[in-house]
Amino acid sequence: MRQLIIFVKKEFLHVFRDRKTLLMLFGLPIAQIVLFGFALSTEIKNSKITIVDYSKDVVTTNLIQKIGASNYFNIERSLKSATDLQADFKKGISKMAVIFPENFGSDLIHTGKATVQVIADASDPNLATTITNYVTQIINDFNAQLSANSAQPMQIMAEIQMLYNPELRGAPNFVPGVMALVLMLVCTMMTSVAIVKEKELGTMEVLLVSPFKPIYIIISKLTPYLIISVMNLFIILFLSAVFLDLQVKGSLLLLVFGSILFILTSLSIGLYLSIGAKTQQAAMGLALMGMMLPTMLLTGFLFPIENMPIVMQWLSNAVPSRWYFLIIKKVMLKGLGFKAVWKEILILGSMSVFLFAISLRKFKIRLE
């Protein structure tokens, strides 16, 4: 036991003396949480649009004003003619064009119908759909105003409530994902590179020839990163609560417990990867390909898992961060308890035990 403490102390010194890497180990999560929490949002607003008004009457002016007043749009350009539209689109200046034909107002009054043309830049299909919808909404509101006088039959009014995130802030969506990503990164990538560096330097050999048990060596190598990750966890939670107004709605203890399980799993993976890699660059490459990519893709925080091909949905079950992400969402954002997450905890727990066991075995085999 005393031996172990000596080892752990040494490892700590290694890590904490490397100022630059330390900066990254703590700086990265902090910077990311703050940046992403504040900057990222899937809400669509301030889309730049172009107006072409051939009619220039009271009605069109009214409608244009309504459109411009909406948060969803920024009227970037008012063109004289629709022939210039292509150029705007090609420069990426505008995302949508709203075109009012000649005699719009008089057509509306005399024939009862007028059509406004909406051309969306469908490069981003979802954006196009959404802003087309927004414009249609505004037009429909206008129509409703027009018919407010005459009793229209059958008006359905939909009341919409946003659950868990009423202001549609980006933070609740991204912070859990970033948490999982960052913890995984530090634990897997940093750990594997650190271990391989020792191999490269040759000092690993010295350790291995010593009478100290291999398991002590492993534990001592992983401990600093475990501690750093837990510290990071608390920093992230603190920052989210203070700056992003994102408190832990559920049990903090449960959240920390789940996080530690995840951290252990990631550490084991880092260990496993370090055994095969010959150079630091290879270790990093392996960690990136083997962990980072699947984590980004298959955790479910960037892309909806249900949309993926079945094979990938299947694969996502093997990615630890997917389960951790669920735990964070349920406990931190929705405030649920153990009953809701026991399945995920069980899975993470077994993953960490399993991975640690096989890494340990592989490590021992390497010695012989």
| Residues 155-194 interacting with other proteins (rule: CB under 8 A) | 155-166, 168, 170, 172-173, 178, 181, 185, 189-190, 193-194
Residue closer to other proteins, measured from CB, 172 or 258: 172
Nearer to other proteins, 135 or 183 (CB): 135
Task: Round to whole Å and give the CA distance between 162 and 43.
Answer: 13
326 binds other proteins, rule: CB under 8 A: yes
CA angle 29, 31, 32 (to 5 degrees): 65
Strand 73-79 and strand 47-53: the pairing is: parallel
Q: Which of 330, 347, 351, 356 binds other proteins (CB under 8 A)?
A: 330
Q: Using an 8 Å Cβ cutoff, are 224 and 11 in contact?
A: yes
**Does 233 interact with other proteins (rule: CB under 8 A)?**
no
Interacting residues with other proteins between 76 and 105 (CB under 8 A): 87, 89-92, 95
Calpha distance 216→6 (Å, rounded): 10
| Residue span binding other proteins (CB under 8 A) among the ranges 214-222, 247-255, 263-271, 325-333 | 325-333
Cβ(100)–Cβ(60) under 8 Å? yes
Of 135 and 255, nearer to other proteins (C-beta) is: 135
Say whether residue 153 binds other proteins (CB under 8 A): yes
Member of 3, 27, 342, 350 binding other proteins (CB under 8 A): 27
Could you give the angle at which helices 171-184 and 19-39 cross, rounded to 10 degrees? Answer: 160
289 binds other proteins (CB under 8 A): yes
The interface region with other proteins, picked from 209-217, 218-226, 267-275, 330-338 by CB under 8 A, is 330-338
**Which of 43, 26, 24, 19 lies closest to 239 in space, CA to CA?**
26
By CB under 8 A, which span of 22-30, 209-217, 251-259, 266-274 interacts with other proteins?
22-30
CA distance 359 to 275: 8
Residue 16 has phi, psi (to 5 degrees) of -75, -15
Q: Does 350 bind other proteins (CB under 8 A)?
A: no
Q: Specify the 3-state DSSP secondary structure of 50.
A: strand
